[in-house]
Homo-oligomer: A and B are copies of this chain.
Amino acid sequence: MRLELQRKMNVSNQISDPDIHWMMRALKLARRGIGVTSPNPVVGCVVLDRAGQVIGEGWHEYDLLDHAEVVALKEAQQHAADRIKGGTAYVTLEPCSITGRTPPCTDALIKAGLARVVAATIDPNPAVAGRGAEALRAAGIQVDVGACQAEARRLNEGFAHWIQHHRPLVLMKVAMTLDARIAPPPGHQTPHAPYWITSEEARAAVQPLRWAADATMVGVDTVVADDPWMTDRSGLRRRRSLLRIVLDSALRMPLDCKLVTTAQNDVVIFTVSNDQARIGELTTRGVRVEVLPSEGGRVPLDKVLDKLGEEGVLTLLTETGTRLNTAFLAAGLVDRIHVFIAPQIMGSDAVPAFCGMPHFVNLADCEVERYGNDLGLSSLLRDPWPRERD
């Protein structure tokens, strides 16, 4: 049974408990790249000598060019050059076999004289996708793929989607009550505005989602109703500004809203309006306006995703309202959904998270977390990773 499972998951039999230990360390290193690696994948690497001692560690950051394997090998060369030969490298992603901004990592690993390379998963890049492992094996290196595969794949869902489909992975965030309401009934009196549906803990959990995303999106209705900042306030390091996107068919965006007044080439409005005066007013305030062909008066979502893909946006976090939530789900464009649930019942006069849907959406394999008295559910609706070749 276990063998069957391993075969199905393409997990090598050669993976031992120490391998899992070192791959978890490599994953920890990889996570240091979140926020500073996109549009590349985050990758971590640990190099051991023949005796099993760590002699090099590394992770990839886009601006530093070197891939994780090269960073780790350079460290090993500096401190223990005589002990690299016959060693093992743990990499959270299959080493690349192609020349991009740097030469192939497979060359560096082969040249270093390693005896074994353990990779968490194959590379989803169709230009690599197993060729890295093949090149290493052809050079006589033992290659084992599949250690901590699920964790490794989770880290690069955005990259896996983008490298294959040239569009960002869509991560839908919904913060709602137990009866799926995202705002109180119109006219409801609140002591403060905006009215927060979820707890402080749940709201704080949104910041890491923004941090790990390249872009976030709202509809203009949310801008008019709540005047959100949509900024990454995680306090964590990021290379590119979080792209703040607004879908605004008729260019109703108020010029005094926070998104406009804080725009620094990081706010993009997608519209189908050709109101040049309005576009000019927004542009002079540092807001980019992208005009797309109208689709029944609406901004075509697939064209938005195409455009964002072209710009190297790997992950788009939607923080939209009723209509756009429903439109994205109805069009089958949502890859992962993250729902925060405040245990409150508001009743049907309050604003619903979703309206009528052409089909049901099933959230398989939900991960559940508590945020104070609130709940968080996360589920992958469409796995962006290529299926294993069986």
A binding-site residues for B, Cβ under 8 Å = 178-180, 184, 326, 329, 339, 343-349, 352-358, 360-366, 368, 370, 373, 375, 377, 379
Provide the residues of chain B in CB contact with A344, threshold 8 Å. Answer: 360-363
Contacts A178-B339, A179-B180, A180-B180 known; A354 to B345 CB distance under 8 Å?
yes
Determine the distance from Cα of A339 to Cα of B358 in the docked complex, in whole angstroms.
Answer: 26
Given A179-B354, A344-B361, A363-B373, 13 more pairs with CB closer than 8 A: A178-B339, A179-B180, A179-B353, A180-B180, A345-B354, A345-B357, A345-B363, A346-B357, A347-B358, A365-B373, A366-B373, A368-B375, A375-B375
Instruction: Indicate the member of A360, A361, A375 with the most B CB atoms within 10 Å.
Output: A360
A343 in complex: contacting residue of B178, B329, B343, B366, CB < 8 Å:
B366
Provide the residues of chain B in CB contact with A365, threshold 8 Å. Answer: 373
CB distance from A349 to the nearest CB of B (A): 5
Determine the distance from Cα of A344 to Cα of B366 in the docked complex, in whole angstroms.
Answer: 11
Provide the residues of chain B in CB contact with A347, threshold 8 Å. Answer: 326, 354-358, 360
Contacts A368-B368, A368-B375, A377-B178 known; A343 to B362 CB distance under 8 Å?
yes
Can you give 16 contacting A-B residue pairs, CB < 8 Å? A178-B180, A178-B339, A179-B180, A179-B353, A184-B360, A326-B347, A343-B362, A343-B363, A343-B364, A343-B366, A344-B360, A347-B354, A349-B357, A365-B373, A366-B373, A368-B368
What are the nearest 7 A-B pairs in CB distance? Answer: A347-B357, A343-B363, A179-B180, A345-B361, A349-B356, A348-B355, A180-B180
Q: Would B377 and A360 count as touching, CB distance under 8 A?
A: no
Determine the distance from Cα of A358 to Cα of B350 in the docked complex, in whole angstroms.
Answer: 11
Provide the residues of chain B in CB contact with A178, threshold 8 Å. Answer: 180, 339, 363, 377
Q: Would B348 and A360 count as touching, CB distance under 8 A?
A: no
Determine the distance from Cα of A347 to Cα of B348 in the docked complex, in whole angstroms.
Answer: 13
Instruction: Indicate the member of A180, A329, A365 with the most B CB atoms within 10 Å.
Output: A180
Provide the residues of chain B in CB contact with A329, threshold 8 Å. Answer: 345
CB distance from A124 to the nearest CB of B (A): 26
Provide the residues of chain B in CB contact with A377, threshold 8 Å. Answer: 178, 343, 375
Q: Would B375 and A346 count as touching, CB distance under 8 A?
A: no
Determine the distance from Cα of A325 to Cα of B354 in the docked complex, in whole angstroms.
Answer: 21
Provide the residues of chain B in CB contact with A370, threshold 8 Å. Answer: 368
CB distance from A19 to the nearest CB of B (A): 30
